A and B are shown apart, each in its own frame.
Chain A
Amino acid sequence: AQSVTQLDSQVPVFEEAPVELRCNYSSSVSVYLFWYVQYPNQGLQLLLKYLSGSTLVKGINGFEAEFNKSQTSFHLRKPSVHISDTAEYFCAVTGSGYNKLIFGAGTRLAVHP
């Protein structure tokens, strides 16, 4: 069975500082990996995804993530955060041939001035 662990439930950071949100997964099959963001009182929107190819994936709003198969990780990074990045971030995994996404518990990023 597939599962996703987001290692931090909350990450406080100052504006313009770098940030890393950690995600580990377990799966017995080849995986597709996703990061979604949920701004307050909104639904989720896709930040980026890894399907195959280059292990460094660039997404919207300056975010990027690196797929590390040996460490079964897909950590999300941004070199300099803004107040507007305050949101909840979800890592998700699915196996090839599946329709279902398995989500992590979420990481609440709070950017302070």
Chain B
Amino acid sequence: DVKVTQSSRYLVKRTGEKVFLECVQDMDHENMFWYRQDPGLGLRLIYFSYDVKMKEKGDIPEGYSVSREKKERFSLILESASTNQTSMYLCASSFASGGAGNEQFFGPGTRLTVL
């Protein structure tokens, strides 16, 4: 079974803190993604990575950065957390060969609250 794990299910941080969200996949997938999920907005792509040290901005990258030093691990960083970043964050991964038709496998999500 493909497994995508996220470091925390729930996280509470204060405004201005630096926040790290970690994601690990065990299927040797090339692609990894970070989304945020908000009620009524569905999932919106923050960043994705198609290889180690490679990244591309998604639709809402402002206020976020990412790091991919190893193939299996993709980190989302909030440099200075703000209350409007309170959300559910979902990580996903997929194979690259076969292109856009590949299934993305999702982690369970991290619910981040910024006070």
Contact = CB atoms under 8 A, between A and B. Distances in A.
Interface residues of B, number: 25
Nearest to B45: A100
A32 B101 contact: yes
Nearest to A108: B39
A101 B104 CA distance: 9
Contacts of A41: 108
Nearest to A31: B100
A49 B106 contact: no
B58 A100 contact: yes
Interface of B: 4, 31, 35, 40-45, 48, 50, 58-59, 90, 92, 96, 99-101, 103-104, 106-109
A90 interface: yes
A46 B100 CA distance: 14
A95 B15 CA distance: 38
A9 interface: yes
Task: List the 3 closest pairs (A to B, CB-CB), nearest first.
Answer: A43-B106, A103-B42, A103-B43
B100 A32 contact: yes
A112 B93 CA distance: 34
A51 B100 CA distance: 9
A45 interface: yes
Interface string A96-111: 1111110111100000
A43 B101 contact: no
A44 interface: yes
28 contacts: A6-B42, A32-B101, A34-B103, A41-B108, A42-B109, A43-B90, A43-B92, A43-B106, A43-B107, A43-B108, A44-B90, A44-B106, A46-B103, A51-B101, A90-B42, A96-B99, A99-B31, A99-B48, A99-B96, A99-B99, A99-B100, A100-B48, A100-B100, A101-B45, A103-B43, A103-B44, A104-B42, A105-B40
